[in-house]
Amino acid sequence: MGRISRKRSTLTNRMLVASAALVLGGGGLLAVNVYASAGESHRGPDSPQVYGQQSQQSRYAARQMSTIVCPDVSNQLPDVPHAARQEVDRELAGIDSRITDAYKRLADSRDQIARDPNFAQNAILNPLKDKRFAAIDRIVIAIGRHAAKPRGLESLAPCTMRSDGTPNGDQAGGQAGDQGAYQGQGQGGQGDAQGGDQGGDQGGGQGGEGGGQAQQGNGPEASDFVDITSVQPNVRTPRQLRSGSTGVFTSDCGRNENGKFNPANVIVAPGVSNGAHHTHDYVGNQATDAFSTDEILANGQTSCKNQGDKSAYYWPVLRLQNGQDEKDVNEDGGGKDQNIGKIQTPAEVDITWKGSPVSKVTAMPRFLRIITGDAKAFTNGDANAGASWSCTGFENRQLADKYPICPADSKVVRSFHFPNCWDGRDIDSANHRTHTALADENGACPNGFEAIPQLVERLVYDVPPGPGFAVDSFPEQLHKPITDHGDFIDVFSDQLMRRVVSCINNGRTCT
């Protein structure tokens, strides 16, 4: 698989609108149909290089509200002292809950908004700003008990509506509205990128037939899908050096056949039962929930065949949008958070650990936390987008910001490529990202980081071809494919971790 790297976005690679329409039904606010370009970043050297599917010029149809956009507080935090992290994480989870509540209020207030253009600002956004300001103040105080108080966080309190199809609406605090399009790297990259754009436009037209008509619910829209056969091959791999590590270790942990689900995220929101506001699939450690400590995880059971792997692997569930209720239709993470439809068990779950094309890998520390992707990428922007979509038989064509429409004899594929460099010290960080990193386009880790085995997850689904499925998301993220993400906690035994490293560094294939 190939490499994605980040380029600064420009006017020519913003997210572009296919059609903007506010259509309300079934008690939910409908998403604006957009072509949401999913820029490149946080992909490892073994990750697919993906070009955003976008047209050559903006197509604005109407100036309408679609969702609530708030600056992400967690990504702006300085180093948080360990003693303050529990309190800070609890406040961050509360901030997410308030955005969810405000989005629901927005969806339920369509009549008032139609009568009074100031209603949304006065009755929804201003109270939300006040609550966010108070939570941010508590975060500052919590950090200040153990370190210097961070400055300027209060500017993150205001939120806006995303309107007129622009990436971040009229967002307060000066957040940039540009979203980076996927760019070709190396010789011939520009031509391939142009081909990807053309294929995406064609696919959007074919797969999104009727995309100008908004659908019921809060997403996805027909324009979020593209015919995979119209996408140009776009995967490249970095050059493998003699000093690299070519082995592969596979861990068979099942497909979540036993149905372990919950709407928690113990990495991002420990101690909060509905910290994710969407439902996760779990394989591996069966004790994983919002309240799992390292000790609980170490003593938990595992679904992995190799009992030395008690790691926690989880990701948002995929649902069919077929009007059928799941058993969580009245529960947190499910219907209460506007995640509806039948949960799909993957037909395949492949968990592999790979090496570095330029160096040997070193062992991961036990209880290392790693995340890939951004559950809020639709409103945050693509800086931390980390998943890709494809179809069996077409996996040299990867999509970051579209769901694939697969041929009748092909299955939907989700792929996660996790950061493969570690700072050598910390098992977690304040934003749960900066203690790990992705290697550059040549496979080298940043200065001060060392290569570790790279987790690659490949999920295959046997779902009907065409639009009709989506991943769970925060309500205001509108089930966009760019919000897909995965989480991992290392609970390998020391013996098995040594075996993984040996296998990878010596070029073997092991289980």
pLDDT tens by residue, 192-229: 333 333 333 333 333 333 333 333 458 898 999 999 99
Q: How far is CA 456 from CA 67, 317, 372, in A?
A: 32, 17, 10
Q: Is the pLDDT of residue 230 over 80?
A: yes
Q: Is 95 helix (H, G, I), strand (E, B) or coil?
A: helix
Q: Is the pLDDT of residue 20 over 60?
A: no
Q: Is the pLDDT of residue 240 over 70?
A: yes
Q: From CA 75, how far away is CA 382, in angstroms rounded? A: 13
Q: pLDDT band for 461, please (50, 70, 90 cuts).
A: very high
Residue 31: the pLDDT is 32
Residue 458: the pLDDT is 98
Proportion of the chain above pLDDT 70, given as a percent: 77
Q: Is the pLDDT of residue 164 over 90?
A: no
Tell me the mean pLDDT in the region 61-85.
Answer: 80
- Least Cα distance to 480 among 26, 9, 36 occurs for 36
Tell me the mean pLDDT in the region 375-394.
Answer: 94
Q: From CA 196, how far away is CA 48, in angstroms rounded? A: 14
- Least Cα distance to 392 among 465, 471, 446, 442 occurs for 465
- Cβ proximity of 58 and 48 under 8 Å: no
Q: Tens of pLDDT along 293-334?
A: 999 999 999 999 999 999 999 999 999 988 899 999 999 999
Q: Tell me the backbone φ, ψ of residue 351, rounded to 5 degrees.
A: -115, 115
Tell me the mean pLDDT in the region 54-58.
Answer: 30
DSSP state of 18: E
Q: From CA 257, how far away is CA 366, in angstroms rounded? A: 26
Residue 195: the pLDDT is 37
Q: Where are the domains of the chain?
A: 11-70+159-510
Q: pLDDT band for 163, please (50, 70, 90 cuts).
A: low
Supply angle C-alpha 488, 348, 354, rounded to 5: 50
Residue entry with tokens 């955003």: 52
Amino acid identity of residue 27, one-letter, is: G
Amino acid identity of residue 40, one-letter, is: E
Q: pLDDT band for 14, please (50, 70, 90 cuts).
A: very low
Q: Is 481 helix (H, G, I), strand (E, B) or coil?
A: helix
What are the DSSP E strand ranges found in 317-471?
Answer: 318-320, 342-344, 348-354, 369-373, 387-391, 403-405, 412-417, 421-422, 436-437, 450-451, 454-461, 469-471
Q: From CA 482, how far away is CA 504, in angstroms rounded? A: 31
Average pLDDT over the chain, rounded to an integer: 81
- Residue with the larger pLDDT of the pair 327 and 37: 327
Tell me the mean pLDDT in the region 166-190.
Answer: 33
Q: Tens of pLDDT along 126-139?
A: 999 999 999 999 99
Amino acid identity of residue 418, one-letter, is: F
Q: Is the pLDDT of residue 50 over 90?
A: no
- Residue with the larger pLDDT of the pair 33 and 300: 300
Cβ within 8 Å of residue 237, ≥6 positions away: 1, 2, 3, 45, 46, 357
